[in-house]
Amino acid sequence: MVTLPESRDLIKLPEGVKATLKGRSLTLKGPKGELTRGLKQNRVEIKVDPEGILLRCDLPRRADKAELGSYASHVRNMIVGVTSGYEYKMKTVFAHFPIKTTVKGPVLMIENFLGERSARKADILPGVKVDVKGDQVTVIGIDLEKVSQTAANIETATKVRDRDIRVFQDGIYITQKAA
């Protein structure tokens, strides 16, 4: 009997996490919440076993191995999200004008940035919570992509334009990432 080369990865589920697969959509439920991710049609097979989640591909090419690794990484990030969640800590830094930050619905309002009259706005994605305490901004959620995109939106909103960035280093910057 001839065995064909294959690429595989078994991701074990911790206690309290349940996985269900419906078509090409994987759902994980854990103590922090529930995450669903659609995995597009391709050559990588996904199976939910009692041991965990099995990803495999027969006769893999380089691109197939890369895709399998990406899917495994996404599943691991989902597991961390539903068990412990993600938290980004950010700090408001200013030397010239005091910056005031407030959360209004799905938007973070950044007022008096570099003395500007109009407020700058940063979108907060659904499922992400933003807390502001003094000069500390905390971004919390269970979906890594949404938490990191919200933090990036906040950093991008405070980008300095038309000034020397060596002198004007004001902004809101990520200081710590925690899972």
Q: What is the CATH number of the domain that holds 92?
A: 3.90.930.12
Of 19, 51, 83, which closes a domain?
Answer: 83
Please state the pTM of the whole predicted model. 0.90
Alpha carbons 31 and 145: distance in angstroms, whole number: 19
Asked if residue 172 and residue 131 are part of one domain, the reply reads: yes
Domain total in the chain: 2
DSSP calls for 71-125: HHHHHHHHHHHHHT-EEEEEEEE-SSS--EEEEETTEEEEESGGG-SSPEEEE--
Is the model's pLDDT at 39 over the cut of 90?
no
Residue 2 has pLDDT above 60, yes or no: no
Q: Does 172 lie in the same domain as 105?
A: yes
Please check whether residues 74 and 94 belong to one and the same domain: no
Query: Does 78 lie in the same domain as 140?
Result: no
SS3 63: helix
Asked if residue 1 is part of any domain, the answer here is no
pLDDT digits (tens, 9 = 90+) for 49-101: 888 999 999 888 899 899 999 999 999 999 999 999 999 999 999 998 999 99
Determine contact, residues 35/76, Cβ cutoff 8 Å: no
